Amino acid sequence: MLTEQVYNAVRRLLSIVRPLLEQLIGRKPMIALQAEIDTQLEFRRTLNWFQLLAIGVGAMIGTGIFVLSGTAASSNAGPSVIISFVLTGVIAFFATLSFSELGTMMPLSGSAYTYTYAALGEYLAWFIGWNSALIYLFGIFTVAASWSKYVVFFIEIVSGYNSTRMIVEPPWGWNQTAKIFYPTGQTINLPAITIIAAITIILIIGIRTTATVNLVFVIIKVVILLIFICSCCKYVDTKNYDPFFPPNLGSFSEYGIPGMLQASTSVFFAYVGFDAVATAAQEVKSPERSLPIAIIGSNIISLLLYVGLCTVMVGLVSYEQLNSDSPLTVAIQATPYGLWLQIVMTLGGIASLTTVGMTVMLSQTRIFYAMAHDGLLPPLFCKLHSTTISPWISTLISGIFCAVVTGFGPVDIFNTTSTISALIMYIFVHVSVIVMRFTHKDMPRGFEVPCGRWLIPTIGSLLCMLLMKGVPGMAVYIFLVWTGLGQIFYFSYGYWHSQRRRLRKNQERNSMIELKLNPATNIGTVTPSQLEPDLPSVTREDVV
């Protein structure tokens, strides 16, 4: 009797667990993705490869070089910060290859979320999509705060007017050394709120306007960076490169080879952004051609500019002097150019940070659109404006959220949070390439990762894991808390509203209806066991 009860309990448990597991690991069929590509006409394909390339460059060149490079050089790597930018550029380059292959296979707005859904299943796709907010929305916090500092600095060097801190700093700050929050005595970061509001309006207007504004600002900032490199290189003092690897001071993060690796983790944020290109895949003409050009091209352009800028910057002044929110302007003080070049570089920083903020918010709204289209987020996130064809509600919600947090919160705590999320995303994309090479090996690809089906994705994944060693503990804590919130939301909403779940339920319901409506056709062909759930074989002997 007891054995019978245990046996029945195990079967009931399996009948509950199996549908759960089927949904969590169930992959989105490529036939469904292809149907979306062929029939989903909500977005307008208006972007060409050059505009898409500008989106990639616009998303990448910003805080990493204009703000974080100086801190990484002065506190971690010294002149070897140049190697840090090269190393992270190579790691990002490997990721661009994987993104390019999957992007040409699945040119949809979900980017890494969609790739993971097709290769690894719904639950891991949710994990990637949810944590993309740490890359994009949390990245906007850092960008907007840096933009505010550059605007204040620009006003000071142009007019000599010291802007009141009451309206340019949030009321709460974060002490990185003591790991505590502290009141700043200020009121609001008004410039940060202003730029976020402007970006939100531009994105709601539509992709064509967004791409045009971004292209103009990208051209401005690239020209200004080239002016800095060409005008200042002749004043480089090679003595500032010695020692190239300052002696380690006893901790992993302070100089030497370990310090260079720590700096690599810090500046990796400079390369986060090429993935923004993939989120615009549904709005670009000829994605099979344009996506690889824009994704790989934006990484190479950024790498070359970063190496050139860092080489000149650390050659102009001693690395100890670069601990500043605007290290390039500090380096200019070692040249005879005076105020005019500082003004130009500050304008370049403002332009750069503007494009980064605009493109990363664009990316987040497109990923939310894809997740809502699959039922994992509320449908309002995929609602498009009838005229501008933009996800305006999603954009508005994202803009308000970022403005409130940046205007009143201690955003410095989020500086490296985007890095850990980006590294994890790139690992999942590499793994997805390997999986898709086995599960869909005959499917045509507009671009293929060279050197076989697993070599570069494996090396890329291992290098991403290497960089994760230098992620600060607070960033890991924020990542885990955000991930925990994601689990609560998924199992309370996403799991129950998933399109795949609804499709499976409809198929089961239709099958039962067909059996009831046509009993004669099933006499002798359907056994009672076939009407039971298809469960793993469990016998009483197994239970005993």
Instruction: Give the model confidence (pLDDT) of 495-533 as tens digits.
Output: 999 988 877 777 667 766 766 666 555 544 444 444 344
**pLDDT score for 462:** 95
**What 3-state DSSP class applies to 150?**
helix
**pLDDT score for 529:** 41
At residue 175, φ and ψ (nearest 5 deg) are -90, 105
**pLDDT score for 290:** 93
Domain ranges of the chain: 22-509
* Range with lowest mean pLDDT among 20-34, 75-89, 452-466: 20-34
Q: Residue 537, Cβ neighbours under 10 Å: how many?
A: 5
Token duo for residue 401: 């959220």
Q: In whole angstroms, what is the distance from residue 111 CA to residue 368 CA?
A: 11
Token duo for residue 212: 């045009």
Identify the residue whose tokens are 């690897």: 245
Identify the residue whose tokens are 């991930």: 483
Name the nearest CA neighbour of 267 among 130, 88, 504, 145: 88
Query: Helix H segments across 106-255?
Result: 112-120, 122-135, 137-159, 190-205, 207-232
Q: In whole angstroms, what is the distance from residue 373 CA to residue 113 CA?
A: 12
- On whether the CB atoms of residues 220 and 422 are closer than 8 A, the answer is no
Q: Is the pLDDT of residue 538 over 80?
A: no
Name the nearest CA neighbour of 369 among 254, 459, 280, 307: 280
Q: In whole angstroms, what is the distance from residue 289 CA to residue 284 CA?
A: 10
Q: Which residues, 6+ apart, have CB-to-CB distance to 336 below 8 Å?
A: 235
Token duo for residue 233: 């290189």
**pLDDT score for 138:** 84
Q: Is the pLDDT of residue 250 over 70?
A: yes
**What 3-state DSSP class applies to 310?**
helix
**pLDDT score for 532:** 40
At residue 189, φ and ψ (nearest 5 deg) are -95, 85
Q: In whole angstroms, what is the distance from residue 331 CA to residue 322 CA?
A: 8
User: Can you spell out the DSSP letters for 410-465?
Assistant: -GGGGTTHHHHHHHHHHHHHHHHHHHHHHHTTTS--SS--SSTTTHHHHHHHHHHH
Q: In whole angstroms, what is the distance from residue 198 CA to residue 509 CA?
A: 49
The predicted-structure confidence for 139-159, as pLDDT tens digits, reads as follows: 898 889 889 988 888 888 887
Name the nearest CA neighbour of 133 among 279, 350, 270: 279
Q: Is the pLDDT of residue 36 over 80?
A: no
Amino acid at 520: A
**pLDDT score for 187:** 82
The predicted-structure confidence for 283-339, as pLDDT tens digits, reads as follows: 898 888 999 999 999 999 999 999 999 999 999 999 888 888 788 888 888 888 878
Dihedral of alpha carbons 49, 51, 57, 59, sign: negative
Largest CA distance in the chain: 95
Q: Which residues, 6+ apart, have CB-to-CB distance to 135 below 8 Å?
A: 272, 275, 360, 418, 421, 422, 425
Name the nearest CA neighbour of 137 among 184, 189, 200: 200
**pLDDT score for 493:** 94
Averaged pLDDT, 269-294 = 90
**CATH architecture of the domain formed by 22-509:** Up-down Bundle (1.20)
**pLDDT score for 514:** 66
Q: Between these two residues, 30 and 507, which has the higher pLDDT value?
A: 30
**pLDDT score for 444:** 82
Token duo for residue 520: 């004669």
- On whether the CB atoms of residues 426 and 396 are closer than 8 A, the answer is no
Q: Is the pLDDT of residue 535 over 80?
A: no
Confidence of residue 44 (pLDDT cuts 50, 70, 90): confident
Strand pairing class (180-183; 172-175): antiparallel
Cα 454 to Cα 13, 128, 434, distances in angstroms: 38, 21, 6
The predicted-structure confidence for 84-133, as pLDDT tens digits, reads as follows: 999 999 999 999 999 999 999 999 888 999 999 999 999 999 999 999 88
Token duo for residue 105: 């296979």
Burial class (CB in 10 A: 0-12, 13-18, 19+), 300: middle
CA atoms within 13 A on the CB side of 159: 7
Q: Is the pLDDT of residue 543 over 50?
A: no
Q: In whole angstroms, what is the distance from residue 522 CA to residue 524 CA?
A: 6
Confidence of residue 412 (pLDDT cuts 50, 70, 90): confident
